[in-house]
A and B are shown apart, each in its own frame.
Chain A
Amino acid sequence: MIDYETLRTPCPCNTGRVVIEMRMVVLTKGVPDFREGKVSFDEDGHLERGKTPTVMNPNDKTALRAALQSKVKHGGTVSLMSMGPPGYAEILQEGMDDVYADDLYLLSDREMGAADTWATAMTVSTGLEHLDETPDLIFAGFKTADGETGHTGPQTKWCLDINDAMPDYPLITHVVALDVDEEAGTVRAKRLVEGDVSEIETIEADLPAFIVTDPEFEANYRRAEHRLRHKDFRDETQQRAAEFGEYLADDTDKEPTEYEDFHMWNHEVLNLDPDYIGLDGSPTIVAGVDPIPKAPSEREATMIQPDDDEGMEEVFEELNQYAVGD
């Protein structure tokens, strides 16, 4: 177990209180940008990955926001970690720019490719163990926009449990609000329990903990000092993100393995057996992907321009049959 007493440092808000200088890690993944105008499908309705830009999974941004909130209120650092091809450096850069991550970790090499959620969890948990400090809070977003399994977060936690060198992380999912009690070394979370009626459940757990945020998560800053610090972090990290962005744009051919706050680790660094990661380590077999056929349109539409008087006349006549009253 971590000795929290030794980690106590003065709170940055200078109130004289003592808090834990928390180490937080947010797990993220790149997903196709499904927004209108960005995504492209072939004629069979299959996603064209090559033509669709990859972005940070939107739910993971929510997780980052939760981590940032804890950092703003209680101090600490937020690291962003992902597994994927070297191009994912750009996604991590986005996380730094958008949600102010302090430093970035990319677990990447060929052996890790084509992993299912299990193999991903194996790799990511090893990445977490490899950090120089044991994380106090680990965050994951709820489901990725492409795979939609929602497994990776919980499976990563199980992998950490297997490792005796790591503390046990209580898992709290569907978190919509979060508060750390620095005195008691606990975390209090509100979780959304969906059923016939959605309920909010409040849970308290000891740190360290593993948090899976709900898309409904809302950061909440009711103190001016928190908003000001949030602004400071934004100004500071966006500056660094812009520099890192320029570096990435400059060096398209070169694989960026190390850059100030960016670290890329391959399976050798992590001391991972290729048989247990990537495609070889994935028990899941995807038998096939069927596009969901578009429902045939039953309605017919006639286009009429507003300045087409005759056409508009017809529209009125057509509508007239449905008119009620006088």
Chain B
Amino acid sequence: MTEHEHYEAVVVGAGPGGAAAAATLAQHGVETLVLERGADAGSKNVSGGLIYAEESAPYTIDQLFPGFREGAAERPVDEYYIHNIAGEKVETFDLHDIHHHDTEWCDAVLRRKMDSWLAERVHEMTRETGGGLLTGVRANGLLREGGKIVGVTFDELDPITADVIIAADGVNSELARDAGLMDWEEPEDWFQGVKAVVDMPPEAINERFDVADDEGVAHLFSGDLFEGVRGGGFLYTNEDSLSIGTVFHLDSLSVERAEPHELLDSLLTHPLLAQWFQGEYHEREYAAKLVPDSKKVAHPSPHRGRLLLVGDAAGQMQAQGPIIKGMNHAVTAGGLAAEAFAEAKSRGNEEAAGTLYQQKLESEGVMDQLRPTRYRATRFLSESDAVNSIGSSLLDSAVGTAGIKLFDGLLEKSFNSPFVLGMIPDTKLSYVTVPTRIAEVLGDPVYDENDVEPPALDDRIGDLTYDVDDPHIEVLDNSFEASGTAVTACPVSAKDFGGGCYREETVETNGHEEKKVSLDTQPCVECGTCAVVADTHWEHPSGGKGVEFKQG
């Protein structure tokens, strides 16, 4: 048997989940090594992002990292609105109540700044235990002995064994896949998030959004502006920039053959946004990433042997109605996983960490937030086609219109109810039809002219920083049937655009023409979409290689 380097705990990934796990392990005096594939922590990460500290949560980020809000976050976000849009008609609801429900505080964040701030502290804390944090190191699989998971293998390091392995490696977790705990098969299990960070001086933000220096606001958008694709848009105020993006169900995006960058542009150029841009638009960064839908993929038993999954790696990303909560759950799960190991260790039974972790997720109510029983109970009925078509025609009818008018106030109220949000089915009815009808019936037209021109896709790619390595994705079946969806669904590819990752090609074989797909990973932003919608062998690039986000 070869003698491997050994640590009590190995944490893979330095996002919020990994940072929380490592900090908690260090607090319990566990020797902890953290490995992050980005050249710098945060350089691979994208979120909207509003990070919540929930009153009911056993762990919050500022508890684990004092000074977080001052040092790592952007503006606190107190106001929260949703705009229902039908053409130029807009009906705005104030979602103050749901935003503040169970919320201790909520801040906008940019991930490069946030994660690198966290990583510095994590390194200091874990170094004390004899471990530390290393960037530029990619885990590429699990190390097994006699069929049991005993450690992790890496591109840049020799294999390392550990008593506990915490996989906090985010969506498209290679460790979760290797353990057979997650697969990347069904588009309906995922959302795709696309985002632009847009320059805006602090004074302009204050004036145009009517906030003070240390105040921020969130605006959400839904209705008919996204070509019928299920999902919505968001706008959050940072210190001196805006985060504007979209989150769509990947199955819907695929079926509609929609172009993600064009959907983002539909939002950016909507007249409603003119009041904020006032004709100026400078995009700092374009980015994208998959987002798991916890309702479908939050693993009920996210552990195997010494391996514990936390955060996106375990599918713990809650999207209920317009609210997106992934980072806070990653923090909670990281804390609970670490606590479970420390407890198991003190009982002299380290093997029990996984089971203990699972129990904690349940007893702390995390699992019920991620996979609400209400949703499971109503899902079968409400997502069936019959209910949908009846619902749509009802909304279109005179009765429906009268109902909407009658229940105006009630509608706003029900948007603010966590109970109702927990039941919202993933159908076009709830994402597109209802908001559109609300706007049509109740909304007022916006007359402002929005003449901003978002950059073309090749400029967006050109503005990103890459350290290109060997291709990390291989197309296994290049027929259009198997992998053609990626041509449109890839956020840096488009039909008839030659500068992206996926291209459609017509090849002549034996006298007849066939549509094929070709791939160039150079402009890849590692979003994970084609791991699901195309037939590929998909890995992350080696440590420090690939795209480098400066904002995130």
Contact = CB atoms under 8 A, between A and B. Distances in A.
Interface of A: 222-225, 227-228, 231-232
B5 A223 contact: yes
Most buried by A among B35, B132, B158: B132
B127 A224 contact: no
B368 interface: no
Contacts of B157: 222-224, 227
B160 interface: yes
A69 to B, nearest CB: 15
B158 A223 contact: yes
Given A222-B157, A224-B35, A227-B157, 13 more contacts: A222-B158, A223-B5, A224-B5, A224-B33, A224-B134, A224-B137, A224-B160, A225-B5, A227-B137, A228-B127, A228-B132, A231-B134, A232-B127
A228 B7 CA distance: 13
A83 B531 CA distance: 58
A228 B134 CA distance: 7
Contacts of B364: none
A222 B158 CA distance: 6
A179 B134 CA distance: 23
> Which 10 A-B pairs have CB atoms at the shortest separation, nearest pair first?
A228-B132, A222-B158, A227-B134, A223-B5, A222-B157, A224-B33, A224-B157, A224-B5, A224-B134, A224-B160
B64 to A, nearest CB: 22
B187 to A, nearest CB: 37
A306 to B, nearest CB: 15
11 contacts: A222-B158, A223-B158, A224-B5, A224-B35, A224-B132, A224-B134, A225-B5, A228-B131, A228-B132, A231-B123, A231-B134
B63 to A, nearest CB: 27
A8 B122 CA distance: 34
Contacts of A227: 134, 137, 157
Contacts of A225: 5
A236 to B, nearest CB: 12
A224 B135 CA distance: 11
Interface string B252-265: 00000000000000
A143 B157 CA distance: 32
A73 to B, nearest CB: 13
Nearest to B132: A228
A225 B7 CA distance: 10
Contacts of B134: 224, 227-228, 231
Interface in B144-169: 156-158, 160
Contact of A231 (B33, B35, B132, B160): B132
Contacts of A232: 127
Contacts of B123: 231
A265 B134 CA distance: 40
A224 B5 CA distance: 8
A159 B176 CA distance: 61
A228 B127 CA distance: 8
Nearest to B33: A224
Most buried by B among A223, A224, A231: A224
Interface string B1-39: 000010100000000000000000000000001010000
A223 B123 CA distance: 17
A223 B2 CA distance: 14
B247 to A, nearest CB: 36
A23 to B, nearest CB: 27
Contacts of A228: 127, 131-132, 134
Contacts of B137: 224, 227
A222 B134 CA distance: 12
B434 to A, nearest CB: 48
Interface in B42-96: none
Contacts of B131: 228
A225 B158 CA distance: 11
Interface string B103-132: 000000000000000000001000100011
Contacts of B156: 222
A12 to B, nearest CB: 12
A187 to B, nearest CB: 22
Contacts of B35: 224
A231 B124 CA distance: 11
Contacts of B7: 224
A222 B132 CA distance: 15
A223 B132 CA distance: 13
Nearest to B158: A222
A224 B154 CA distance: 11
A223 B35 CA distance: 12
A97 to B, nearest CB: 19
A146 to B, nearest CB: 31
A224 B127 CA distance: 12
Contacts of A231: 123, 132, 134
A231 B131 CA distance: 12
Contacts of B127: 228, 232
B138 to A, nearest CB: 13
A232 B127 CA distance: 9
Contacts of A224: 5, 7, 33, 35, 132, 134, 137, 157, 160
A202 B158 CA distance: 22
A247 to B, nearest CB: 27
A259 B232 CA distance: 62
A225 B127 CA distance: 11
A227 B136 CA distance: 11
Nearest to A227: B134
